[in-house]
Amino acid sequence: MQEPPPVTPVGQDASQYTLTFAEEFNSGSTIDATRWSTDIWYKNNNATRNYDVADGNLRIWPQQDATGQFFDRTIVGDGKFSQQYGYFEVEAKLPVGAGLHPVISLIATDGPEIGIMHSYTGAPDGGWSSPTLTATDYVVTAVNDANGYDEEFRAHEYIDVPDLSAGFHKFGVRWDATSIRYYIDGVQMGRTINNTQVRAPMYFYIGLWMVNEGTSPRIGSGTLGINNAYTPVGSSNAMQVNYVRAWQFK
């Protein structure tokens, strides 16, 4: 039987890297507790189940809890896997609807963050999504500590962003001691951020949040406590993550 090809970082020189983490979501019906948790340090864990593993993907979807409110859901590797520097890649497809904030980040608890992809679906007035509430832009960030941003920019400033709800895309970041570079589908997106402050080992942080801010459209918002026809609930409208991978520099 022929061996499968090695897992390599898209758009990178594979000879420069060693694979350190690979989650393919190809088994089981929920997250692997040895790798992931829904516990985060700053917010109580909502007991309503709005995530699973199915068809080779992690799925997180908009849902209301027992009080009728929408709520945030975050899947984290806190205490399971963390790494300083390397290449990090997540292949994902985003949901549609009003007031949704899909997130893919690297983070250290109560500290720095590298935001690989922060999108706001359902915000056509702000240019974040289409009139049909599909995601058409996202922001990347570099945060030195919990108190403020170092740098950030939106993808549309540099590329024609595809409909991120129509198919899977590979979101990546190359992080070393002096710089941070962001990638989509193996191609560097935007400017290199020169940064020597973000140094703490970080873990993967993947979430589907609800927003109640200026990014929400006039037609209604899928925000906390508000039910409307513009935010489809249930697993058929999930943020889907096909894999999560990390490599160290050799």
Digit-coded pLDDT (tens) for 117-173: 999 887 767 788 888 889 999 999 998 765 555 789 999 999 999 999 999 999 999
Q: What percent of the chain has pLDDT over 90?
A: 66
Span 219-236, mean pLDDT? 63
Q: Which tokens hold the place of 239?
A: 């943020």
Q: Number of folded domains in the chain?
A: 1
Q: Which residues of 217-231 are buried (b: 16+ CB within 10 A; e: fewer)?
A: beebbbbbebeeebb
Q: What is the pLDDT of residue 2?
A: 61
Distance CA 110, CA 205 (A): 13
Regarding predicted confidence, which is higher, 65 or 93?
93
- Phi/psi region, residue 185 (left: phi>0; alpha: psi -120 to 50; beta: rest), is left
Q: What is the pLDDT of residue 215?
A: 41
Which residues sit opposite 59 in a β-bridge? 52, 240
**In this structure, what are the phi and psi dihedrals at residue 245, rounded to the nearest 5 degrees?**
-140, 155
Does residue 19 fall inside a structural domain? yes
Asked if pLDDT for residue 212 goes beyond 70, the answer is: no
Among the residue ranges 65-69, 86-90, 114-118, the one predicted with the least confidence is 65-69
Q: What is the CATH number of the domain that holds 146?
A: 2.60.120.200
Instruction: Tell me if 40 sits within 8 A of 172, measured CB to CB.
Output: no
Angle at 104 between CA 99 and CA 105, to 5 degrees: 125
Distance CA 114, CA 246 (A): 14
Among the residue ranges 43-52, 81-90, 123-132, 237-246, the one predicted with the least confidence is 123-132
pTM above 0.95, yes or no: no
Q: What is the pLDDT of residue 86?
A: 98
Q: What is the pLDDT of residue 83?
A: 97
Instruction: Tell me if 103 sits within 8 A of 208, measured CB to CB.
Output: yes
Average pLDDT in the chain: 88
Q: Predicted confidence band at 67 (pLDDT cuts at 50, 70, 90)?
A: confident
Span 202-231, mean pLDDT? 63
Regarding predicted confidence, which is higher, 97 or 221?
97
Residue the block writes with tokens 């897992």: 7
Does residue 43 fall inside a structural domain? no
Angle at 70 between CA 68 and CA 76, to 5 degrees: 135
Cβ-based neighbour number of residue 153 at 10 Å = 16
Residue the block writes with tokens 């292949």: 91
Q: What is the pLDDT of residue 117?
A: 98
Does residue 197 fall inside a structural domain? yes
Instruction: Tell me if 115 sits within 8 A of 140, measured CB to CB.
Output: yes
Which residues sit opposite 193 in a β-bridge? 180
Does residue 245 fall inside a structural domain? yes
Does residue 221 fall inside a structural domain? yes
Does residue 112 fall inside a structural domain? yes
Q: What is the pLDDT of residue 11?
A: 96
Domain range for 19 is: 14-34+50-249
Closest CA relative to residue 208, chosen from 67, 84, 93, 36 = 93
